[in-house]
Amino acid sequence: MQSSQPPELVISGIGVTASIGQGKEAFRSALFEGRHSFRVMERPGRQRGTAFLGAELPELSIPPSIAKRTLRTASLTGQAALVTLQEAWQDADLASVPPERVGLIVGGSNVQQRELVQTYESYRDQAEYIRPNHALAYMDSDVCGLCTEQLGIKGLAYTIGGASASGLLAVIQAIHAVRSSQVDVCVALGALADLSCFELQAFRSLGAMGSSRYAGDPSGACRPFDASRDGFIYGESCGAVVIERAESARQRERVRPYARASGWAVAMDGNRNPNPSYEGEVRVIQGALREARLSARDIDYVNPHGTGSIIGDETELRVLHDCELSHAPINATKSIIGHGLSAAGTVELIAALLQMQASRLHPTRNLDEPIDPRFRWVRGEPVAHEIGHLLKMSMGFGGINAAVVLSRYNS
């Protein structure tokens, strides 16, 4: 007689590339030190008579396993995906897993906008000479093709778009793919959202991105949950997590799971606009806790969405308080790395995992005057803290709310 108990799902590998460092060790070190790289952005196509602030990746260190000819036709988004997935792949020791039983979910849509703008401008007056592979490269699915070709993935692969919730949605979709036995292992990738000057200007005009208030002080511009916040500050990043059954991970001696995926939920607001929804955020937290079979009191760390939005930050804290989560320590990863948009949920989940592993919480930069003092804020210095169960939230334009609960894995 088969057991009706759902399989125990774990995160068995991670990979991360961010403005503060490439690879989990560099990323972890910078997180706990509160190191940042906010400045006026310099990547071609980011400015047009402007001085937008942000945090850009350092030059990527490319592993020898990735051929130079592959890189020549890969966008920045594709290159970041390749190096990030390579780290997660090795971390989870996936070389022995049959390729037909491995899947890939790429979180993000329209993730190569700067690359497209650069291409259009280069070929504006000579469209007949445009590179033939542009017919492939302009599509988000090309990121799937690039990564599956490099790693030999033959199970399933597709993109999933949910604006700034995309990265966490990819994790949830990977969980579903393994839980339903579509594949044995599924990698969730939060793709680097490569913005051009047009998207940056539109975000600013919308009032979502920070203004020029901190033009003379880039280090002070990104300030989630602070009384002086005035919008998000963009930060390039890419993250990958490997989801599989615990029994599968145990078959590979080198693998030490980071955590158990115990609860998850997605809830829609029924609203196209970018404004947050108190009701939607409450429902998604309650749904994730219900799936995890935990109460709010069981959660002992919250990694919030926390963008620095005027309305968004206030709404999120009101939701967390009313869901009885104000007892749990809270910090804001975006204060260190900026807002990665499509990658944010995956990269911040990795930050939460590294904190769980280290029994230590990273500081929140620029949190000089918290807008709600009732919370247990981790402010200027890291603090020691054991995490048994954590909650990660992500919200996206279009009324998308996502939440994941992770629990300490006991082998």
Task: Please give the pLDDT value at position 410.
Answer: 87
Task: Please give the pLDDT value at position 4.
Answer: 66
Domains 10-249 and 262-407 share a fold: yes
Domain ranges within the chain, ordered by starting residue: 10-249, 262-407
Which 3 state secondary structure label does DSSP give 15? strand
Task: Please give the pLDDT value at position 202.
Answer: 97
Task: Please give the pLDDT value at position 75.
Answer: 95
- Statement: residue 364 has pLDDT above 70: yes
**What are the tens digits of pLDDT across the range 116-157?**
999 999 999 999 999 998 998 899 999 999 999 999 999 999
Half-sphere exposure of 86 (CA within 13 A, CB side): 20
Q: What angle do CA 352, 321, 282 make, to 5 degrees?
A: 80
Task: Please give the pLDDT value at position 217.
Answer: 97
**What are the tens digits of pLDDT across the range 156-172?**
999 999 999 999 999 99
**Mean of the per-residue pLDDT values of the chain:** 96
Task: Please give the pLDDT value at position 411.
Answer: 73
**What are the tens digits of pLDDT across the range 189-234?**
999 999 999 999 999 999 999 999 999 999 999 999 999 999 999 9
> In sequence order, what are the beta bridge partners of 286?
none
Percentage of residues of the chain with pLDDT beyond 90 = 94
d(CA 77, CA 58) in angstroms, rounded, equals 14
Read off the pTM.
Answer: 0.97
- Statement: residue 1 has pLDDT above 50: no
Task: Please give the pLDDT value at position 96.
Answer: 94
The arithmetic mean of pLDDT across residues 227-256, rounded, is 96
Tell me the residue type at 63. Answer: P
Task: Please give the pLDDT value at position 17.
Answer: 98
Q: What's the pLDDT band for 68 if we cut at 50, 70, 90?
A: confident
| Choice among 86-100, 117-131, 355-369 with the minimum mean pLDDT | 117-131
The arithmetic mean of pLDDT across residues 365-392, rounded, is 97
- Statement: residue 2 has pLDDT above 60: no
Half-sphere exposure of 166 (CA within 13 A, CB side): 30
**N-term to C-term CA, the chain:** 25
- Statement: residue 328 has pLDDT above 80: yes
The arithmetic mean of pLDDT across residues 318-331, rounded, is 98
Half-sphere exposure of 12 (CA within 13 A, CB side): 30
Q: How many CB atoms lie within 10 A of CB 5?
A: 6
Q: Which residues contact 8 (CB under 8 A, 6 or more apart)?
A: 245, 246, 247, 260
Name which CATH class applies to 10-249: alpha beta
d(CA 98, CA 356) in angstroms, rounded, equals 30
Select the more confidently predicted residue: 69 or 77. 77
Domain 262-407 has CATH 3.40.47.10: yes
